[in-house]
């Protein structure tokens, strides 16, 4: 298959064009070398046109990387990064650099209390370099990454910013010989797709929507625009309130009255919740509680000593002296 990066298959030999003024008449047998030359001349002129368009695009949209190279990644050293090589190079200031080789860059210590952001670039000759402490590079350089050196003198972040010249296909058939980031306008599906993780994925636009279906105690939901849209979900507590729980009328959970001990209620006949001795829970000690519980049950408040044991027997709480 031919495409913008490979528009003309390499068929035939260089051939030879016929002399000026020469023409074929009907029934003449065409000289093969003339066809070869016509084919290869058209190929050359098409390539010149593509190169001219590419250079003009580079001038208009700023600098571009022509292949997947020139990615910056963390290297083995504390403040080192590797810049991968690029077969096709990049356009810098409207000029194609040609191929660049893999480069390892070493950054100086931070020496401060805040992050320092450095720039990694390629220049017009295709050489890779760095400028520390700035996110701006000279006009004859193409910034391909920003490297953050933290106050602890390690690289905390790498942001690759170089743009790649991608290809756009507009056809019914899915193109082959593609790379990650390539764009295809699928005219059959009327969708624009990007090549990612081994397949073309549909690009979401502001015309696409999604729907959330509310159930199992949720209400609301519905369709919403995936580009900046939203929808709301509400919870109805009545749908999941269990035993001794109910809706208080304002969609809040409350504990049912028949499950709460109020003043005057008793526990097993031993403890009256309205007793004044229990009115101040903050000052109530374990000893106070046991004595008061015994008092409620028997009217007797025995003295407690170390080793005493409190236990329930029948309808009362008793204390056995441990001495």
Whether residues 304 and 272 fall in one domain: yes
Q: Looking at residue 61, what is its pLDDT?
A: 53
Tell me what the pLDDT averaged over the chain comes to. Answer: 77
Whether residues 108 and 39 fall in one domain: no
- If one counts the domains in the chain, the total is 5
Whether residues 126 and 102 fall in one domain: yes
Specify whether the CB–CB gap between 153 and 110 falls below 8 A: yes
Q: Is the pLDDT of residue 226 over 70?
A: yes
- Using the Cα atoms of residue 140, residue 98, residue 91 and residue 157 in order, give the sign of their dihedral: negative
Whether residues 273 and 189 fall in one domain: no
- Which one is predicted more confidently, 77 or 297? 77
Measuring CA to CA, which residue among 296, 302, 292 is closest to residue 323?
A: 302
Q: What is the domain extent for residue 104?
A: 65-160
- The stretch 199-219 carries a mean pLDDT of 85
Whether residues 69 and 155 fall in one domain: yes
Q: Is the pLDDT of residue 89 over 80?
A: yes
Could you give the CA distance from residue 255 to residue 67 in angstroms, rounded to a whole number?
66
DSSP3 helix / strand / coil % (the chain, rounded to 5): 15, 30, 50
Q: Looking at residue 72, what is its pLDDT?
A: 92
Whether residues 70 and 105 fall in one domain: yes
- The stretch 204-225 carries a mean pLDDT of 85
Tokens encoding 164: 């790649």
Whether residues 81 and 119 fall in one domain: yes
Question: pLDDT digits over 5-45, tens only?
Answer: 555 666 667 888 888 888 888 888 888 888 888 888 887 78
Tokens encoding 75: 């290297």
Q: In what order do the strands lie in the sheet with 168-171?
A: 168-171, 183-186, 191-196, 199-202
- Flag the least confident range among 124-133, 153-162, 164-173, 198-207: 164-173
Whether residues 242 and 289 fall in one domain: no
Question: pLDDT digits over 132-166, tens only?
Answer: 999 999 988 999 999 999 999 999 999 998 876 55
Q: Please give the full DSSP string across 194-234, using - where no structure is assigned.
A: EEETTEEEEPP-TT-EEEEE--TTEEEEEEEETTT----EE
Q: Is the pLDDT of residue 246 over 60?
A: yes
Whether residues 155 and 81 fall in one domain: yes
Whether residues 194 and 210 fall in one domain: no
Measuring CA to CA, which residue among 84, 88, 83 is closest to residue 166?
A: 88
Last residue of a domain, one of 60, 80, 100: 60
Last residue of a domain, one of 101, 134, 160: 160
Distances from the Cα of 308 to the Cα of 88, 287, 295, 314, angstroms: 90, 11, 16, 19
Last residue of a domain, one of 60, 75, 92: 60
Specify whether the CB–CB gap between 65 and 58 falls below 8 A: no
**CB count, 10 Å around CB of 265?**
11
Q: Please give the full DSSP string across 91-125, using - where no structure is assigned.
A: EETTEE---B--EEEE-----SSS-EEEEEEEETT
Whether residues 194 and 209 fall in one domain: no
Contacting residues for 270 by C-beta, under 8 A, at least 6 apart: 293, 296, 297, 312, 315, 316, 317
Whether residues 240 and 286 fall in one domain: no
Query: For the chain, what percent of residues have pLDDT higher than 90?
Result: 20
């Amino acid at each position: 298959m031919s495409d913008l990066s490979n528009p003309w298959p390499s068929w035939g030999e260089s051939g030879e064009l016929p002399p000026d003024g020469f023409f074929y008449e009907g029934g003449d047998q065409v000289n093969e070398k003339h066809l070869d030359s016509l084919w290869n001349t058209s190929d050359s002129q098409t390539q010149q046109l593509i190169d001219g368009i590419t250079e003009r695009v580079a001038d208009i949209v700023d600098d571009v990387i022509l292949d997947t190279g020139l990615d910056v990644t963390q290297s083995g050293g504390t403040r080192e990064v590797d810049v991968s090589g690029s077969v096709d190079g990049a356009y810098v200031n409207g000029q194609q650099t040609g191929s660049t080789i893999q480069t390892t860059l070493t950054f100086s210590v931070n020496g401060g209390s805040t992050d320092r952001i450095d720039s990694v670039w390629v220049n017009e000759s295709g050489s890779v370099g760095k400028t520390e402490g700035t996110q701006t590079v000279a006009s004859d350089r193409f910034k391909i990454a920003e490297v953050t050196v933290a106050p602890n003198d390690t690289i905390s972040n790498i942001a690759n910013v170089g743009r790649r010249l991608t290809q756009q296909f507009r056809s019914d058939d899915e193109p082959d010989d593609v790379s990650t980031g390539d764009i295809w306008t699928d005219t059959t599906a009327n969708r624009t797709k990007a090549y990612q993780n081994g397949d073309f994925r549909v690009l979401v636009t502001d015309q696409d929507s999604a729907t959330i279906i509310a159930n199992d105690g949720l209400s609301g939901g519905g369709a919403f625009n995936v580009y900046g849209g939203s929808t709301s979900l509400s919870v109805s507590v009545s749908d999941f309130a269990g035993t001794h729980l109910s809706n208080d009328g304002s969609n809040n959970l409350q504990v049912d009255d028949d499950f709460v001990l109020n003043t005057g209620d008793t526990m097993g006949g031993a403890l009256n919740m309205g007793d004044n001795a229990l009115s101040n829970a903050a000052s109530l000690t374990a000893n106070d509680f046991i004595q008061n519980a015994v008092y409620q049950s028997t009217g007797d408040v025995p003295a407690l000593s170390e080793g005493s044991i409190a236990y329930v027997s029948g309808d009362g709480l008793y204390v056995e002296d441990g001495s």
